[in-house]
DNA sequence: ATACGATTTTTTTTT
DNA sequence: AAAATCGTAT
């Protein structure tokens, strides 16, 4: 039996043991919201709720897994049956079963960003849009428009008029492309990320029997990071909870940092209106940070208007004032951070208790070079993700066509790898094989070459050899064999010719093979890759390796959400970078950037360093002068004596 | 016309 | 690091 009173504070206890029904929990940073969710789940199970009747939606799969591990330590293996994961994950799991109801086959592929972009690009060409029209939005921008419209449940016209006014003259063509894109996805049996949400909602809205089934299946719904949900996700939750209203959402409106993805603060603000019987709880005790750090964070966030009233109280005592360090340029900043890291390591702070946070990935470049130079071990938790690297995508493309023979992006990706086949000829080949029952057989037929340039022959033959090997000999339902066959069939040679770092790429593929072992089917494996959990989350061996050698963490602020470190450095706290110039152009941009600043600051347990560079050290060294971030300036009005500022300023030579 | 290599530019944030 | 652009080779 768990002694809830003993292990929780009174705020948490009330949340965890609350009666069923709609609950809104406003949980400040570091107030133990994970703890509340974990114990709530355990409590429900102890009350006799079947674990497989609990839906636990989290922001990352990692969060779901770590929560379930903790629930397991409380109530034992019963926890294993809980439905936990991201919206996209659970949507995928449900849609696989009912795909036919929304016009898809159950073996659909999931397009990642790049695949989706390419499909949009070909939709532009197919829609016959004159390529001379220079100002027509690029595929990436079109994708953003379409995605934002989907995630905010707004018409494309409205999105373009409000957010992309410059493109409004192309409205007719944009609509053509969007329509074409939608049709193509359906024809090819592929879904993009947004479809996993949209089709899920469609399923619940249009099919009452399915709706009833899931409303019955999920007796209790728990949602983490509710402030980052969008309209579609809120609809899905409300529909699923419609029969019983047992929905507990936990969030912090001050940490909403995903509005670019359609996240909508009004979800959390209006939850009590949606659910009239909702009870509202607040977790306002902060266990993480020292008072000076919390004071700085609180002083910053009050500059935002719209928010739930709450006041974070520090439990901890003492602590050092945060440090503000103006530095001459990027190199100087890198030097300072590296130096401080070494000094603190000497004082006995483990490297993996230190993190460097920044607004955009490329902000960390100079620092990475400096850390390498000084032999300080580090991991970068941002930037190009493991599963998005070219070699990983190449190899998995073979598996994709094995699962879904009409996965056009996968076919084209593979075709252009071969000599003599570029974009145009890959397109021609695809057209030839696309309207057969099974393109995987059609690709072998002898009359294919008739319609093609002679130049494709050697490349095409090579491709066929590998395909033959992969499909026939390997038993393509085993990812490890596929990877093995592809490497042996010429891909290894290709890697060595093309990349300097081929060794690490081959190593990646070995890791991929090891990673694939935990999946039952190729389909499950591919879904997991597309839905992009981090690298090797569940690989015990690698986790142990990482712990053996401690490393400093480098991360974007977005990816740092939910994590904490003893020491946090924020670099590039300069106007233009934090807040980011481009982000300020968005509506509500300043407030969102300030919330990012708040999230970053509240990651720190003991020490916080705010670094600012006086000069922009972009390449070519065009030294544009920079001002300190407004978020720093607004904390310390000029009339405030230095002693009373929430930070102390260091002069670093 | 197409492929492909060299060069230049450009980076928000993520499922 | 990758995408977009440009020039040359096939």
For residues A605 and A30, give the distance between their C-alpha atoms in angstroms, rounded to a whole number.
Answer: 9
Q: A355 has which bridge partners?
A: A553, A568
The verdict on whether A624 is a catalytic residue reads no
Alpha carbon A465 to its chain's center: 37
Query: What are A177-236's pLDDT values in tens digits?
Result: 999 999 999 999 999 999 999 999 999 999 999 999 999 999 999 999 999 999 999 999
For residues A498 and A520, give the distance between their C-alpha atoms in angstroms, rounded to a whole number.
Answer: 33
pLDDT, position A539: 44
For residues A390 and A140, give the distance between their C-alpha atoms in angstroms, rounded to a whole number.
Answer: 18
- State percent of chain A over pLDDT 70: 94
Q: A613 has which bridge partners?
A: A327
* Residue A322 CA, nucleotide B15 C1', distance (Å): 34
The listed range with the strongest mean pLDDT (A129-133, A200-204, A441-445, A448-452) is A200-204
Residue with tokens 């419209």: A149
Name the percent of chain A in helix, strand, coil, to the closest 5.
55, 10, 30
The verdict on whether A34 is a catalytic residue reads yes
Cβ proximity of A17 and A8 under 8 Å: no
Six token digits for residue A7 = 């292990």
Six token digits for residue A263 = 């996240």
Query: What are A336-364's pLDDT values in tens digits?
Result: 999 999 999 999 999 999 999 999 888 88
Cβ proximity of A210 and A101 under 8 Å: yes
Q: What is the CA radius of gyration of chain A?
A: 26
The verdict on whether A224 is a catalytic residue reads yes
How confident is the model over A536-557, as a mean pLDDT?
66
Protein side of the strand B interface (CB < 7 A): A 60, 86-89, 113, 193-194, 257-258, 260-261, 359-362, 382-383, 385, 416, 419-426, 453, 455, 459, 531-532, 556, 558-559, 580, 582-583, 586, 618-619
pTM above 0.85, yes or no: yes
pLDDT bucket at A621, cuts 50 / 70 / 90: very low
pLDDT, position A540: 45
Cβ proximity of A186 and A104 under 8 Å: yes
pLDDT bucket at A620, cuts 50 / 70 / 90: very low
The verdict on whether A12 is a catalytic residue reads no
For residues A627 and A616, give the distance between their C-alpha atoms in angstroms, rounded to a whole number.
Answer: 10
- The answer on pLDDT for A45 being more than 70 is yes
pLDDT, position A432: 87
Which of A136-150, A259-273, A292-306, A471-485 has the lowest average pLDDT? A471-485
Kindly name the residue from A11, A112, A194, A225 that is annotated as catalytic: A225
Q: Give the relative orientation of helices A390-403 and A408-415 as an angle to the nearest 10 degrees.
A: 130
Kindly name the residue from A17, A34, A511, A649 that is annotated as catalytic: A34
Query: What are A549-608's pLDDT values in tens digits?
Result: 788 999 999 989 889 999 999 999 988 888 998 888 888 889 999 999 999 999 999 999
- The answer on pLDDT for A255 being more than 60 is yes
For residues A283 and A265, give the distance between their C-alpha atoms in angstroms, rounded to a whole number.
Answer: 18
pLDDT, position A138: 87
Q: Which nucleotides of B are covered by protein (CB under 7 A)?
A: 1-4, 10-15
Phi, psi torsion values for A501, nearest 5 degrees: -95, 35
Kindly give, in sequence order, each residue whose CB lies less than 8 Å from that of residue A629, ignoring residues fewer than 6 positions away: A573, A574, A575, A577, A578, A579, A597, A610, A612
Q: How far is CA A16 from CA A58, A85, A174, A534, in A?
A: 17, 20, 49, 30
Specify the length of chain A in residues.
Answer: 653
Calculate the dihedral angle through the C-alpha atoms of A593, A362, A150, A84, rounding to the nearest 10 degrees.
Answer: -90
- The answer on pLDDT for A247 being more than 90 is yes
The verdict on whether A33 is a catalytic residue reads yes
Residue A49 burial (CB < 10 Å; 0-12/13-18/19+)? middle
* Residue A496 CA, nucleotide C6 C1', distance (Å): 27
For residues A45 and A277, give the distance between their C-alpha atoms in angstroms, rounded to a whole number.
Answer: 23
pLDDT, position A450: 80
């Amino acid at each position: 039996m768990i002694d809830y009173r003993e292990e929780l504070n009174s705020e948490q206890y009330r949340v965890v043991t609350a009666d069923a029904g709609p609950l809104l929990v406003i949980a400040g940073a570091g107030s133990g919201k994970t703890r509340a969710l974990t114990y709530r789940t355990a409590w429900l199970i102890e009350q006799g709720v079947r674990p497989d009747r609990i839906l636990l939606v989290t922001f990352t799969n990692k969060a779901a897994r770590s929560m379930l591990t903790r629930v397991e330590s409380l109530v034992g293996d019963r926890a294993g049956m809980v439905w936990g994961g991201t919206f996209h994950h659970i949507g995928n799991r449900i849609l696989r079963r009912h795909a036919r109801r929304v016009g898809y086959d159950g073996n659909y592929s999931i397009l990642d960003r790049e695949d989706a972009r390419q499909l949009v690009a070909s939709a532009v060409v197919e829609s016959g849009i004159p390529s001379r029209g220079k100002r027509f939005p690029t595929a990436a921008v079109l994708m953003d428009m379409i995605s934002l419209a989907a995630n905010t449940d707004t018409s494309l016209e409205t999105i373009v008029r409000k957010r992309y006014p410059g493109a409004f003259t192309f409205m007719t063509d944009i609509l053509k492309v969007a329509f074409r894109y939608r049709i193509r996805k359906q024809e090819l049996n592929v879904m993009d990320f947004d479809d996993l949400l949209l089709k899920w909602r469609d399923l619940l809205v249009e099919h009452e029997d399915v709706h009833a089934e899931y409303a019955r299946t999920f007796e209790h719904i728990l949602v983490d990071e509710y402030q980052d949900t969008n309209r579609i996700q809120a609809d899905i939750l409300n529909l699923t909870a419609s029969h019983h209203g047992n929905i507990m959402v936990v969030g912090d409106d001050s940490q909403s940092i995903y509005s670019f993805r359609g996240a909508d603060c009004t979800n959390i603000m209006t939850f009590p209106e949606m659910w009239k019987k909702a009870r509202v709880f607040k977790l306002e005790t902060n266990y993480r940070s020292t008072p000076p750090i919390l004071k700085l964070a609180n002083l910053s966030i009050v500059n935002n208007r719209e928010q739930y009233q709450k006041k974070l109280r520090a439990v901890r005592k003492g602590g050092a004032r945060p440090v503000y360090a103006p530095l001459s340029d990027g190199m100087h900043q890198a030097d300072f951070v590296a130096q401080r890291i070494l000094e603190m390591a000497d004082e006995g702070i483990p490297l993996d208790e230190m993190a460097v946070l920044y607004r955009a990935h490329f902000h960390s470049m100079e620092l990475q070079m400096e850390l390498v130079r000084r032999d300080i071990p580090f991991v970068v938790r941002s930037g190009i993700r493991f599963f998005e690297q070219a070699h990983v995508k190449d190899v998995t493309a073979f598996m994709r066509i094995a699962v879904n023979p009409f996965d056009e992006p996968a076919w084209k990706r593979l075709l252009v790898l071969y000599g003599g086949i570029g974009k145009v000829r890959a397109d021609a080949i695809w057209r030839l094989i696309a309207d057969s029952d099974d393109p995987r057989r059609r690709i072998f037929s002898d009359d294919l070459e008739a319609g093609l340039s002679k130049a494709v022959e050697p490349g095409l033959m090579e491709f066929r050899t590998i395909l033959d090997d992969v499909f026939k000999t390997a038993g393509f339902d085993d990812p490890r064999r596929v990877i093995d066959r592809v490497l042996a069939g010429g891909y290894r040679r290709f890697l060595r010719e093309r990349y300097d770092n081929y060794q690490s790429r081959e190593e990646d593929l070995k890791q991929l093979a090891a990673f694939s072992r935990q999946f039952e089917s190729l389909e499950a494996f591919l879904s997991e890759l597309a839905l992009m959990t981090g690298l090797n989350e569940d690989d015990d061996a690698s986790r142990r390796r990482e712990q053996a050698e401690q490393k400093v963490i480098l991360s974007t602020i977005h990816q740092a959400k939910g994590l904490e470190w003893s020491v946090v450095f924020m670099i590039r706290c300069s106007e233009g970078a934090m807040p980011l110039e481009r982000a300020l152009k968005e509506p509500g941009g300043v407030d969102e950037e300030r919330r990012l600043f708040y999230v970053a600051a509240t990651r720190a347990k003991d020490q916080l360093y705010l670094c600012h560079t006086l000069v922009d050290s972009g390449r070519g060294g065009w030294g544009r002068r920079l001002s300190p971030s407004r978020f720093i300036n607004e904390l310390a009005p000029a009339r405030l004596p230095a002693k009373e500022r929430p930070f102390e300023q260091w002069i670093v030579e």
